[in-house]
Chain A
Amino acid sequence: MHDRGVIITSFFPLAIEKAEGKKRSILTAAAVTVLVLILGVFKYFNFFMSTVMSTVGKTWTTLDIILPVGISFYIFSAIGYLLDVSWGMMPAEKNILDIALFLSFFPKQVCGPIIKGREFLPQLKENRRITLKNIEAGIQIFVFGLFKKLVLADHLGVFVNDVYHAPSAFGTLTVWWAVFSTMLQLYFDFSGYSDMAIGMAKIFGYDIPRNFNLPFTARNISEFWDRWHISLSSWLNIYLFNPITVSMNRKITDIPKEKRKKLKNLQMYAALLITFLISGIWHGAGFTFIVWGLCHGVWSVLHSMYSNYMKQHYKSFVKNKSKFLTVLDILLTFFTVNVIQVFFNSDSLGKAFNMLKCMFTLHDGINQPYTWSFFAYAVLIVSTLIAHFHNKEKRSIENTEGFYPLMDLNTVKGLSCFFFFCGLTICLGYFGETQFIYGKF
């Protein structure tokens, strides 16, 4: 298993690069299939067999198959690299050490980001060194991530887990408050890990792309996925959505222009649904993830239809949308993302529907105005506003970019702030038994 593994990502691209035409396609397909099979066996085999068996009325005894940590992330990295070589986007890497390090690089092991070969492998060729400048930036980014995880995400997790464990025990408002805290918990957990990965990589001289960019400022679902889990959404866009639409488009070149335009739209919608379905499946072996993915897919399709219609018939309205309506768009996007997230966070579809039932029916129960959620929202809003006003040239929602407010650690002021922030992280941190949420994917 060990030797076969490195061979797939090391030697297959070399063979693919040398091959041409149909042979190249076959080799690419074979390599991708093997990688997908590896992922499938470890992650989905039990789920698949239990589903099939229950459909035919039989039982399935779950096999004790280990789920290697970070497998979803490095398998996707490997597939991306293979396809880049196959499409001629980059040359095949001959150095097996670089391939091994590209796949196993420890900062991004557990929860990504899904780094692309074309971004990371060239860095391994350069003489990347540990420098004071990199340490300065890296350690601060790392501590930001640690704060998000230990202070915000883990405290939010206490409340979210309480409510998801027994939603019927809590009052309707509390259930909603937990739902709005869930997305926040996931954001701080995952973006916290990503920041720690970026910071740690930076310390050692390597650059990992950012994975989040103020996703809660998104005005629609499409923008949301441009800002949320960027490494996954860009991977899906490059290696799944685009190839599907391109291959579909090739099949309709002979059709008249008018019909072709309509068909193109339909093909795009189909590609969106497939992409989000795969995204849901990637997240986990369970129907809740499939439903979650499909909900995002359906919403993306609906948004696409709406967008096209509005651009066609109300072009000036779309172009000159008022700030009030923009804020409304942001709130609506935020609301819908949070409601769909119930499926993602539930252990089963039954529990998810139970949770939805508790949300949409008025009932009495425990009231828990969890204060850490208020604090987390305050941090989110303040940091978003800072990012918004940080861009002095053009302050608009679409130009609001996240950034790391790095201090100069060569000054007393900078060092004091940094030490205080480290101390605050430890003082406020939650040190119960928690793990990274995306670590189980």
Chain B
Amino acid sequence: MSFIDFNFYPLTAVLFVIIVLIQFLLKKKERLSNTVSKIILLCFSYLVMGLYDWRFCLCMTGG
């Protein structure tokens, strides 16, 4: 799934809202907010890759 797939946008919008919420709720705990945001971004990156083919995730982790 890439930028030219329409389905990318609703998913990215959800990601955006989740990260904004996390950063808002954990405003005072900067390190935790940063870590959680990065975890969510990582999960989303793997999700995007997995939507192409689940095996791509293995290869990515392989590199």
Direct contact of A and B (CB under 8 A): yes
Q: Cβ of A104 and Cβ of B49 under 8 Å apart?
A: yes
Q: Name the A residues within 8 Å of B58 (CB-CB).
A: 1-2, 5
**Distance (whole angstroms) from the CB of A198 to the closest CB of chain B:** 12
Cβ 8 A contact of B55, one of A4, A66, A74, A101: A66
Q: Mark A84-108, 1 if CB is under 8 A from B, else 0.
A: 0000000000000110110111100
Stretch at the interface among A121-129, A216-224, A285-293: A121-129
Stretch at the interface among A336-344, A377-385, A433-441: A433-441
Q: Cβ of B33 and Cβ of A101 under 8 Å apart?
A: no
Q: Cβ of A68 and Cβ of B42 under 8 Å apart?
A: no
Residue with the highest number of chain A CB atoms closer than 10 Å, among B4, B12, B16 = B4
Residue with the highest number of chain A CB atoms closer than 10 Å, among B2, B56, B63 = B63
Give Cα distance in the complex from A100 to B23, angstroms: 21
Q: Cβ of A97 and Cβ of B4 under 8 Å apart?
A: no
Please, how many residues of chain B have a CB less than 8 angstroms from a CB on the other chain? 34
Q: Name the B residues within 8 Å of A8 (CB-CB).
A: 62-63
Give Cα distance in the complex from A283 to B52, angstroms: 21
Is A75 located at the chain interface by the 8 A CB criterion?
yes
Classify the interface of chain A: helix, strand, loop or mixed: helix
**Distance (whole angstroms) from the CB of B11 to the closest CB of chain A:** 10
Q: Cβ of A3 and Cβ of B4 under 8 Å apart?
A: no
Q: Name the A residues within 8 Å of B44 (CB-CB).
A: 106
Q: Name the A residues within 8 Å of B49 (CB-CB).
A: 69-70, 104, 106, 109
Is A279 located at the chain interface by the 8 A CB criterion?
no
Chain A residue, CB-CB nearest to B46: A104
Q: Cβ of A146 and Cβ of B45 under 8 Å apart?
A: no
Please, how many residues of chain A have a CB less than 8 angstroms from a CB on the other chain? 48
Give Cα distance in the complex from A70 to B49, angstroms: 9
Q: Mark B13-48, 1 if CB is under 8 A from A, else 0.
A: 000100110010000001101110111011011101
Chain A residue, CB-CB nearest to B44: A106
Q: Cβ of B42 and Cβ of A100 under 8 Å apart?
A: yes
Give Cα distance in the complex from A150 to B6, angstroms: 12
Q: Name the B residues within 8 Å of A204 (CB-CB).
A: 16, 19, 41
Q: Cβ of A68 and Cβ of B60 under 8 Å apart?
A: yes
With A101-B45, A104-B45, A106-B44 as given contacts, are A66 and B63 in contact (CB-CB < 8 Å)?
no
Q: Name the B residues within 8 Å of A2 (CB-CB).
A: 57-58, 61-62
Give Cα distance in the complex from A439 to B37, angstroms: 27
Q: Name the B residues within 8 Å of A100 (CB-CB).
A: 42, 61
Cβ 8 A contact of A127, one of B2, B34, B60: B34
Q: Cβ of B33 and Cβ of A127 under 8 Å apart?
A: yes
Q: Name the A residues within 8 Å of B39 (CB-CB).
A: 97
Q: Cβ of A110 and Cβ of B56 under 8 Å apart?
A: no
Q: Name the A residues within 8 Å of B48 (CB-CB).
A: 106, 109
Chain B residue, CB-CB nearest to A79: B63
**Distance (whole angstroms) from the CB of B63 to the closest CB of chain A:** 5
Q: Mark A187-214, 1 if CB is under 8 A from B, else 0.
A: 0000001001000100110000000000
Give Cα distance in the complex from A35 to B58, angstroms: 14
**Distance (whole angstroms) from the CB of A7 to the closest CB of chain B:** 9
Q: Cβ of B62 and Cβ of A4 under 8 Å apart?
A: yes
* Smallest CB-CB A-B distances: 6 pairs: A5-B62, A68-B59, A106-B45, A5-B61, A104-B45, A68-B56
15 new A-B contacts at CB < 8 Å, known A69-B49, A71-B63, A100-B42: A2-B62, A4-B62, A6-B62, A35-B63, A70-B49, A97-B38, A103-B63, A106-B48, A110-B2, A124-B38, A127-B33, A146-B3, A204-B16, A204-B19, A204-B41
List 26 interface pairs A-B (beta carbons < 8 Å), by A numbering. Answer: A1-B59, A2-B57, A2-B61, A5-B59, A5-B60, A9-B63, A35-B63, A38-B63, A66-B55, A66-B59, A69-B49, A97-B42, A98-B38, A100-B42, A100-B61, A101-B42, A103-B60, A106-B48, A106-B49, A110-B2, A110-B3, A127-B30, A127-B31, A127-B33, A129-B23, A434-B4
